[in-house]
């Protein structure tokens, strides 16, 4: 995964400029425009480096730096103070607050890149396990009923078979079929966490809401409550929840549902990879074709979106795979066979198909898909393009 840098500045133009410089160097960038927001993001996201402006309206950078250093979760994150102040006393104050380096505005892009590389190169090669981030893989259905939840659940189960420790998180508030399918009672975990203040979300808080299947698969579940379906949550809290889940799951598989609400549209940008699940039917393909540009517009990471076709209809009604690729303008990553009998048996056993009968054809297809895509999760980018 690319190294993540949190940039803190109340000047939006500066945020954009610094963010662009860093992105062109291959870093992942997060932003905050106030001191308290920066403290919350640092605790939630555990960035590899913080670039911190001194002059901010709610809390100056020195105070932010001190608070970060006094917090066990953030005390080891490197900090570069970044400000227009040039007096020696100001720099001394920055170092006394706990900064690792100090840059004055304006700075040349090459100098910024050099300082960032120098700071990151001095980090220990291994972070504490609590701060390591697993991959975030989002599952999106082109429409309801295409099997997106089945893919999400079985994809995660396939990684259990591979010896990993995944978490599957259901973000379909009010549509909690996953917990019912698995025979688990703990069905309000996602809503419970989204109702908390963003600053209260910690790995332990999130872990306490996970349900554990006898197979070892861990799940963050929703219910079928109408009240839950109508629940409105701050997107910042949901983003923090995603970041906390990334510290718990290797990987975390997110069932994002089928409706691109404003919140879900924002949340899918946090995913390292998206799997778009479609049926080989005209209605599903038409909806997928409309959906793809919205998903692609969120991030420009090559190879981020993968199309998976689930066969459910009678063969005479299906669109041939090569026509599916032409309609969507995307290569099909996998074709998953219909298996109604196995699906029913797995539901009766409260177990994902790939765990119930791992040698079945459909199970083998999903296991192969999980292996293939796990190897394709974007790795750190060594981007040497000049700024």
Summarised one tens digit per residue, pLDDT across range 343-360 is 999 999 999 999 999 999
Cα-based distances in Å from 111 to 22, 116, 223, 360: 12, 9, 51, 57
Per-residue pLDDT tens digits for 126-146 = 444 444 678 999 999 998 888
Residue 48 has, within 13 A of its CA and on its CB side, a CA count of 24
Cα-based distances in Å from 73 to 39, 68, 202, 237: 11, 8, 10, 18
Q: What's the whole-number mean pLDDT along residues 365-378?
A: 90
Q: What's the whole-number mean pLDDT along residues 161-165?
A: 87
Mean pLDDT of the chain: 85
Q: Decide whether 4-129 matches 133-374 in CATH topology.
A: yes
pLDDT at site 230: 87
pLDDT at site 382: 37
pLDDT at site 211: 92
pLDDT at site 386: 31
Q: Which of 173-182, 270-279, 370-379 comes out lowest in average pLDDT?
A: 370-379
pLDDT at site 293: 87
Q: Is the model's pLDDT at 203 over the cut of 80?
A: yes
Q: Is the model's pLDDT at 166 over the cut of 60?
A: yes
Q: Is the model's pLDDT at 321 over the cut of 90?
A: no
Q: Which phi and psi (to 5°) does residue 333 adopt?
A: -80, -35
Distance of alpha carbon 82 from alpha carbon 17, whole angstroms = 13
Q: Is the model's pLDDT at 220 over the cut of 50?
A: yes
Q: What's the whole-number mean pLDDT along residues 255-267?
A: 83
| Secondary structure (DSSP) of 161-192 | HTT-B-EEEE--TT--HHHHHHT-S---HHHH
**SS3 state of residue 60:** coil
Residue 211 belongs to what H/E stretch? strand 211-212
Task: Scan for tokens 């700024």, then name that residue.
Answer: 387
The residues, any chain, with a CB within 8 Å of residue 380's CB and separated by 6 or more, are 1, 2, 3, 26
CATH number of the 4-129 domain: 3.40.50.2300
Inter-residue contact 272 to 136 (CB < 8 Å)? yes
CATH number of the 133-374 domain: 3.40.50.300
Per-residue pLDDT tens digits for 46-87 = 899 999 998 888 888 899 999 898 887 788 899 998 877 656
| Secondary structure (DSSP) of 361-380 | HHHHHHHHHHHHHHTTSPPP
pLDDT at site 131: 46
Q: What's the whole-number mean pLDDT along residues 280-308?
A: 84
Give the highest mean pLDDT range of 114-118, 129-133, 377-381: 114-118
Q: Which of 65-74, 279-288, 365-374 comes out lowest in average pLDDT?
A: 65-74
pLDDT at site 262: 81
pLDDT at site 137: 96
pLDDT at site 124: 56
Contacts 24+ apart (CB under 8 A), 378-384: 378/1, 378/2, 378/272, 378/273, 378/301, 378/303, 378/304, 379/1, 380/1, 380/2, 380/3, 380/26, 381/2, 381/26, 382/26, 383/24, 383/25, 383/26
Residue spans per domain, the chain: 4-129, 133-374
Q: Which phi and psi (to 5°) does residue 286 adopt?
A: -65, -40
């Amino acid at each position: 995964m690319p190294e993540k840098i949190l940039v803190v500045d109340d000047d939006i133009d500066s945020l954009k400029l610094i963010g662009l410089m860093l992105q062109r160097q291959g870093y992942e960038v997060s932003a905050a425009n106030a001191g308290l927001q920066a403290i919350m993001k640092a605790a939630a996201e555990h960035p590899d480096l913080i670039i911190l402006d001194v002059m901010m309206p709610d809390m100056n950078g020195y105070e932010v730096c001190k608070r970060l250093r006094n917090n066990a979760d953030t005390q080891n994150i490197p900090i570069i103070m970044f400000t227009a102040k040039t007096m020696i006393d100001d720099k001394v104050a920055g170092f006394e607050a706990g900064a690792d380096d100090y840059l004055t505005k304006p700075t040349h892009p090459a100098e910024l890149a050099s300082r960032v590389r120098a700071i990151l190169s001095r980090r220990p090669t291994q972070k504490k396990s609590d701060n390591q981030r697993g991959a975030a893989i989002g599952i999106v259905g082109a429409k309801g009923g295409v099997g997106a939840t089945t893919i999400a659940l079985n994809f995660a189960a396939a990684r259990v078979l591979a010896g990993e420790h995944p978490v599957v998180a259901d973000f379909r508030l009010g549509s909690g079929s996953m917990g019912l399918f698995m025979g688990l009672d703990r069905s309000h975990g996602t809503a419970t966490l989204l109702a908390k203040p963003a600053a209260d979300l910690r790995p332990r808080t999130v872990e306490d809401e996970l349900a554990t299947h006898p197979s070892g698969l861990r799940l963050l579940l929703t219910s079928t409550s109408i009240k839950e379906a109508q629940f409105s949550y701050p997107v910042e809290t949901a983003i923090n929840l995603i970041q906390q889940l990334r510290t718990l799951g290797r990987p975390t598989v997110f069932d994002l549902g089928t409706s691109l609400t404003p919140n879900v549209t924002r949340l899918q940008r946090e995913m390292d990879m998206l799997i778009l699940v479609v049926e080989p039917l005209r209605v599903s393909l038409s909806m997928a074709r409309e959906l793809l540009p919205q998903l692609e517009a969120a991030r420009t990471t090559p190879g981020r979106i993968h199309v998976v076709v689930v066969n459910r209809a009678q063969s005479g009604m299906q669109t041939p795979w090569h026509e599916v690729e032409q309609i969507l303008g995307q290569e099909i990553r996998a074709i998953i066979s219909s298996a109604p009998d196995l699906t029913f048996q797995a539901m009766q056993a409260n177990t994902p198909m790939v765990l119930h009968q791992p040698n079945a054809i459909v199970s083998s297809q999903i296991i192969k898909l999980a292996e293939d895509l796990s190897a394709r999760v974007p790795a750190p980018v060594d981007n040497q393009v000049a700024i």
